């Protein structure tokens, strides 16, 4: 199933409540390049609209990925190998960190549940 990462961001409805609290969350770090518009992490994520393309206004047409912390379930599929082992040990840029939720909330405040 292909995901259109370039769709109008105003149509994306973010979650306001989570069904269960995960132990870890995916957090995109400074190394994200958006994989030139074809990020594998978006396709591997089982949750619709959890990983969102954000345009880099200073360097169009480039962008990066952001994770909706209320949708992420901590499954680690965004950091896994791809089909037939072609996606070597997750993000090729090491741009996805799996962070313990207690550390995430200590730094950024509690998430609404």
Q: Which CATH class is domain 19-108?
A: alpha beta
* CA within 13 Å, CB half, 38: 1
pLDDT at 27: 93
pLDDT at 106: 92
pLDDT at 16: 52
CA distance 42 to 32: 12
- 10-residue averages of pLDDT along the chain (113 residues): 47 54 90 84 88 86 89 87 57 86 89 71
pLDDT at 1: 40
pLDDT at 37: 80
Q: Where are the domains of the chain?
A: 19-108
Cα-based angle 41, 47, 52 (whole degrees, multiple of 5): 55
Structure tokens at 3: 């995901």
Of 37, 28, 78, nearest in space to 56 by CA: 37
What pairing do the DSSP bridges indicate for beta strands 24-28 and 51-55? unpaired
Say how far residue 15 (Cα) sits from the centre of its chain. 14
pLDDT at 3: 46
């Amino acid at each position: 199933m292909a995901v259109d990462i370039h769709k109008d961001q105003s149509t994306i409805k973010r979650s306001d409540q989570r069904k269960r609290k995960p132990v870890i969350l995916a957090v995109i770090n400074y190394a994200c390049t958006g994989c030139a518009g074809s990020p594998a992490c978006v396709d591997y994520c089982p949750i619709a609209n959890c990983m969102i393309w954000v345009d880099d206004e200073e360097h169009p047409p480039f962008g990066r990925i952001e994770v909706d912390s209320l949708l992420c379930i901590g499954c680690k599929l965004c950091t896994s190998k791809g089909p037939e082992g072609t996606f070597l040990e997750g993000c090729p840029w090491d741009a996805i960190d799996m962070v313990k939720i207690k550390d995430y909330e200590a730094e950024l405040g509690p998430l609404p549940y």
